[in-house]
Chains A and B, each alone.
Chain A
Amino acid sequence: MSEPLTLLSVEGLSKSYGGVHAVRSVSFELKAGEILALIGPNGAGKSTCFDMLNGQNIPDSGRITLLGQDTLGRKPREIWRLGVGRTFQITATFPTMTVRENVQVALVSYGNALFNFWSSAPQFAREEAGRLLDLVGMDGYAERPCGELAYGDLKRLELAVALANRPKLLLMDEPTAGMAPRERIELMRLTAKIAREQSIGVLFTEHDMDVVFEHADRILVLNRGSLIAEGTPEQVRGNPQVRAVYLGEGLVYDARHREGASA
């Protein structure tokens, strides 16, 4: 095995709204099996970046190459077909369907069976759905209506749905937002385990520094639309510029971090 495959390569990505440069000339790469965190204070341009990668927002300039294909101007559903799984900051699931059916719908789409009017959907890819639910520890909830689930379980279900198309890349926008601290660690541990086993690249944004420093292989730091630092957790932690803009001047990191965790 030589150098791992480059999954995603972003070059000179820019987007402005009126006079505001939301994202300025951001470039980075992501390799298979790598977990990359995108962090930055509120308004740094994380979500704009994310939406452009996902096809929900069109950049003013720049290139996004996903598995050798230029994705600029493609719709989210087309990018999904290239092998990208996606989870949302606020979970998006199908509340009137059961947990299993949520996964089955994704499998129907992946199996190009959207216009299959005759076979039985409850039997469609039932085992595969069960396997995915098992993977995220949701197998006991398969028959539950998804609208009844607790938030942490919804997040896990979303992960299972995102894995249904056997993605090469997972895009997770604040995967642990709104979760209790213990759940956060568990969810990210699970994600990291799956990513390593299946050699999936993961790009995630996150506010919780515990999660970031524990799980990310590399970290990108955005501030006011520009990339100000990039490197391993140790490198980023020691970067004075990052400490200044992101962690706040005069604040000891540990104190702030404890405050954040207890809030």
Chain B
Amino acid sequence: MAFYVVQFLTGLASAASLFLVASGLSIIFGVTRIVNFAHGAFYMLGAYVAFTLTERFSGALGFWGGIVAAALVVALVGVIVEMVLLRRIYHSPELFQLLATFGLTLMVQDLVVLIWGPDDLLGRRAPGFKGAVDFFGQNIPSYDLFLIVLSPVVLGILWLLFQRTRWGILVRAATQDRDMVAALGVNQKWLFTSVFAVGVFLAALGGALQIPRDAVHHAMDLRIIVEVFVVVVIGGLGSIIGAFVAAVLVSELNAFGILIFPKISIILVFLVMAVVLIVRPWGLFGKPEAPARRTPGLTVNPWRPLTSNERIGAVVALIAAAALPFVGGNYAMTVGSEIAIFVIFAASLHFLMAVGGLASFGHAAYFGLGAYGVAFLAKMAGLPMIVSLLLGPLLGCLGAAVFGFFCVQLSGVYFAMLTLAFAQIVWSIAFQWVAVTGGDNGILGVWPEKWAAGPASFYWLSLAIAALCVVVLRLIVFSPFGYALRATRDSPLRSEAIGINAKRMQWTAFVIAGTVAGIGGALFAYLKGSVFPDSLGISLSVDALVMVLLGGVETVSGAVIGAIVFKAANIWLVSQTDWSKLVLGGFIVLMVVAFPKGIVGTLEAIMARWRARSSAPKSRVASMEVAE
């Protein structure tokens, strides 16, 4: 019995940091409507800065002062980030905000290694809370008891702040109607900045308070952000009470889940999240979100199938690509195969995003599932390559069918967070279920059969499948299904009023995208000859998002160009610098701020302007007609 009580108390103590970070995320989202992906990065920065300060200053004052000072320092960093970056993207689509803050996260990951080095850092124990309390023969660290008391105290302070101060009233008003608050003469800029600072302070405090419990390392940001996303999805984005209850719930599930499924305790959290989402899609304490704001600068050029000239152009480009083995060496062909595979992956995500309006932050899950599917079939069942290639992607299809069903119940940022959480869960399973997946060691020896083993033949195989996938996806875009899917993206209200079941359309799109991603993954397994949990990871999901964005999210097939450019640049970059995350992160931020239409989108806009200029007199007449 005592053991279970201790387990329960450990869970409560873990909830403290989770609650601090999640409440910060919720507060920021409530006012600015930005889901701050970089929140995990601020949490990690808080831990690193606190480590330095508490090492530097001795004594109880040095320690506790260092913790608070670290949170303040990081909050200041947050203020700078808000003023320099976020102010430029408050009116951008949610996807761009998530991506920009993810770019920040990437940069911070490399910066942290640059400053503090790649090794885990063990911080000091907290003065006054070094010992443990004996509880019927079980030890409870007294620092855990401190954390257990801390989170309700923070909850109380936040409550007072929001209910009893003038600032809190303004924040609550802005949460309900930003424009009205601005119309009443409140300086919105500083309100947003201060809210962001408070949110970042909470995240950094959460990180700083972790140092007596856990080692500080440079991957702690992603781990916490996924848990925090799960917490806010369960508790309801924007609700502080919800963050508190859900943080406790998730931590307890983790604490006891370990006892029930030692290997894959995260399954339990996933099940609870699934149940909550079915019963209350907006979380336990959340409110249904108003429909996503209209994306400004929506495509001016209506989509149309390729003209016969453009079709000839595409075939010529394909033939030119197929000629690569005659001019390039083995390395070029391997790179070419990889690019072709990523064209498949990016095109599948692009289909989901551009046509379905669903920005998935966990698309790599289905790519990786396809890869694992092939590895299982080829290595364990010993099936021939053709059969594995055909059946392997079905694992991606199955994953997309199960997870997609839950994801499409939500929209906008909730959708993005849930896809990310599912991908991370799949990753954890691949990582922890060593008996089946080989864990971190992966599954090795997935080699293609003789007919496809040569670099040239594998390249042609990849290229042919990539071309096939892109063509099929394009056909679907211009099929009745594709039209109806776009309709659900453009106006849920109108599509429902003309008899379209939007969730079924979106679910189908999700399964299509997941299956195609699985095809890419299946090829990837054969290209590399092995499968690792990395091919399910967040960074791969984000790579795909960047490819889509780089190509242009408002185009029909921009992702093809985006994938080629991004992958080529990425392979080159990794060979040139050790700080590729820093460069990539900076590139993402820059792209979101300065170049949101992407390569193909920008080209199309230039073409449209050029066409408009050449037919200017005609269009002036047309606009006069409209004016009448």
Instruction: Tell me, yes or no, whether A101 is within 8 Å of chain B by CB.
Output: yes
CB distance from B54 to the nearest CB of A (A): 54
Q: Could you tell me if A105 and B484 are in contact, using CB atoms closer than 8 angstroms?
A: yes
Chain A contacts for B480, CB-based, 8 A: 108, 111, 113-114, 116-117, 119, 121, 124
- Give B465-493 as 1s and 0s: 1 = Cβ < 8 Å from A's Cβ atoms: 00000000001101111111011001101
Q: Could you tell me if A106 and B498 are in contact, using CB atoms closer than 8 angstroms?
A: yes
Instruction: Tell me, yes or no, whether B505 is within 8 Å of chain A by CB.
Output: yes
Instruction: Tell me, yes or no, whether A98 is within 8 Å of chain B by CB.
Output: yes
- Give A63-101 as 1s and 0s: 1 = Cβ < 8 Å from B's Cβ atoms: 000000000000111101100001010001111111001
Q: Which of A80, A119, A150 contacts B626 (CB 8 A)?
A: A150
If the complex has contacts A116-B480, A120-B478, are A95 and B490 also in contact, measured as CB distance less than 8 A? yes
- Give B497-533 as 1s and 0s: 1 = Cβ < 8 Å from A's Cβ atoms: 1111100010010000000000000000000000000
CB distance from A52 to the nearest CB of B (A): 15
If the complex has contacts A96-B298, A96-B299, A105-B484, are A120 and B498 also in contact, measured as CB distance less than 8 A? no
Q: Which of A122, A150, A153, A164 contacts B478 (CB 8 A)?
A: A122
Cα–Cα distance between A98 and B483 once the two chains are bound (Å): 11
- Report the stretch among B189-197, B280-288, B300-308, B393-401 that lies at the interface: B300-308
Instruction: Tell me, yes or no, whether A17 is within 8 Å of chain B by CB.
Output: no
Is the interface on chain B under 10, 10 to 19, 20 to 34, or 35 or more residues?
20 to 34
Q: Which of A81, A98, A105 contacts B487 (CB 8 A)?
A: A105
Q: Could you tell me if B302 and A97 are in contact, using CB atoms closer than 8 angstroms?
A: yes
Number of A-B contacts (CB under 8 A): 119
Q: Could you tell me if A118 and B496 are in contact, using CB atoms closer than 8 angstroms?
A: no
Cα–Cα distance between A122 and B474 once the two chains are bound (Å): 13
Closest chain B residue, CB of each to CB of A125: B480
Cα–Cα distance between A81 and B302 once the two chains are bound (Å): 29
CB distance from A54 to the nearest CB of B (A): 8
If the complex has contacts A92-B491, A97-B486, A98-B302, are A117 and B497 also in contact, measured as CB distance less than 8 A? no
Chain A contacts for B491, CB-based, 8 A: 92-95
Chain B contacts for A147, CB-based, 8 A: 298, 300
A sample of 13 inter-chain contacts (CB < 8 A) reads: A77-B499, A96-B302, A101-B302, A105-B500, A109-B498, A115-B508, A117-B479, A118-B475, A121-B480, A147-B298, A147-B300, A149-B626, A150-B626
Chain A contacts for B304, CB-based, 8 A: 122
Chain A contacts for B481, CB-based, 8 A: 114-117
Q: Could you tell me if B499 and A96 are in contact, using CB atoms closer than 8 angstroms?
A: no
Chain B residues near A (Cβ < 8 Å): 294, 298-305, 475-476, 478-484, 486-487, 490-491, 493-501, 505, 508, 626
Q: Could you tell me if A165 and B498 are in contact, using CB atoms closer than 8 angstroms?
A: yes
Q: Could you tell me if B479 and A120 are in contact, using CB atoms closer than 8 angstroms?
A: yes
Closest chain A residue, CB of each to CB of B512: A117
Closest chain B residue, CB of each to CB of A115: B481
Closest chain B residue, CB of each to CB of A82: B499
CB distance from B468 to the nearest CB of A (A): 15
Q: Which of A76, A86, A104, A150 contacts B483 (CB 8 A)?
A: A104
Q: Could you tell me if B493 and A105 are in contact, using CB atoms closer than 8 angstroms?
A: no
Cα–Cα distance between A148 and B505 once the two chains are bound (Å): 27
Cα–Cα distance between A54 and B494 once the two chains are bound (Å): 12
Using A96-B298, A122-B304 as known contacts, list a sample of 16 further A-B pairs with CB atoms less than 8 Å apart, ordered by residue number in A.
A76-B497, A77-B497, A88-B497, A94-B490, A94-B494, A97-B487, A105-B487, A105-B495, A109-B500, A110-B498, A114-B484, A116-B480, A120-B478, A147-B300, A149-B626, A165-B499
CB distance from A56 to the nearest CB of B (A): 9
CB distance from B555 to the nearest CB of A (A): 12
Q: Which of A113, A114, A117 contacts B475 (CB 8 A)?
A: A117
